[in-house]
Structure 1
Amino acid sequence: MSEQKNLLSLRNIHKAFGGVIAIQDFSLDLKAGEIVALVGDNGAGKSTLIKIISGVYTPTSGDIELDGEAISFRDASTARAKGIEVVYQDLALADQQPVFMNMFLGRELTKPPFGLLDKQRMREESQQLVDELDVRIPSAASTISELSGGQRQGIAIARATHWASKLVLLDEPTAALGVAETARVEDQIAKLKEKNLAILIISHSLDQVFKLSDRICVLRRGKQIGVRETKNTDKNEIVSMITGVA
């Protein structure tokens, strides 16, 4: 993987909210077809970092490069336009709308000459995508409120996959799911690698981290403690890095 060029590079990222330092001197490279896990206790700065990469927050200082070019995201829509998608814990789905409308939320397809919604095309494209990712739902016309937690998570990941051309950020994607649904969502995440996307995942489950990731980046109180190749470390080392207790 070392011969691949970096898709996203973060250099000396610093983020302060007034006098509170949330992220201090953070650097990380992400490559296409790679899953990097971001781990640390609550308050370590993981979600802040996701929001910086996705354009929600602007770093106080530091540099971001995408495909080797310096970039500054004015807002989340700028990051989305550059191929970066996020799946947050709250999923950001419209419960009373069907799956296909959620897939195209804010990006609805229309047909000439009057700009009416092209529901058939959105439904067909959505069905194709959920079939590809093996999201088991009755159909793309199903209403979100009728689906289980795992199915909703699957839809959120499928939507991110559909629109992301570079990077998918996953913030605790299985936190509220049972064992079987977690396994299905983990299978979906693994399939994102096949699409040659870069994936950054926040997870409290070290079992999940070791199952899915290629590398593990540890944060503690806003500081980057280190990055390890998953195959060359173990849970004891990662826990020691997270807690600061050898």
Structure 2
Amino acid sequence: MRILLVEDHEAMRTMTATHLREAGFAVDEAATGDEGLSAARAQAYAALIIDRGLPDVDGLTLVRAIRSGAANDIPILILTARSQVSDRVAGLNGGADDYIVKPFELVELEARLRAVLRRPGPRGPELYRFGDITLDPSARVTKFNGVELELTRRELTVLEELIRAKGAIVVKDALEDRIYGFHDEIRSNALEAAVSRVRRKLALAGSRVGIEAYRGLGYRLMFKWGKALEG
């Protein structure tokens, strides 16, 4: 599940992004409102975390700009040093789903993020299923016949994209965009290695779901004995 973090304070941004990645999220980073808006328009995010005190624009102005586009129902958390009740009310009335006052504990931010992601709304299914594999994108948990599989963040992201495709081919570039952050350097063979590990873990668990490679194009999920099946 990919999150966009818009925060101009570099140390705060790095610390927050690192914690969320360790918690299983893929995180893209932006330092200005302009960078954040460009990223939000270019990528479908599960949620946004936006600092209100950005150097080029008020964070609430950025929220309104995002809400006016296609991503009008995306969960948005506002970070701010303003602790007055009137500021919190303005943030919530301005389109934010939650409002977190600095300083805060990173575990609280993570909990609030997961809470807004669980809220009902037109934000996609709670679970993805393909054959005997079930993936919960909010909890970042994958199960084979009800038994949890141990996958790294990158492995889980690869499997999530393949499950969402329902047996269709997912091109390599799209998978690389998902497993790398907005500013990450793409490393040679990292995707192939992640796919290979997921394939091996599915096989060791006894799953009938396999990953088929299409040279020069991408990958898709399928049953090992032929026909691909959506659960």
The structure richer in helix per residue is 2
The structure richer in strand per residue is 1
Higher RCO (Cα < 8 Å, 6 or more apart): 1
In the superposition, the TM-score normalised over structure 1's length comes to 0.28
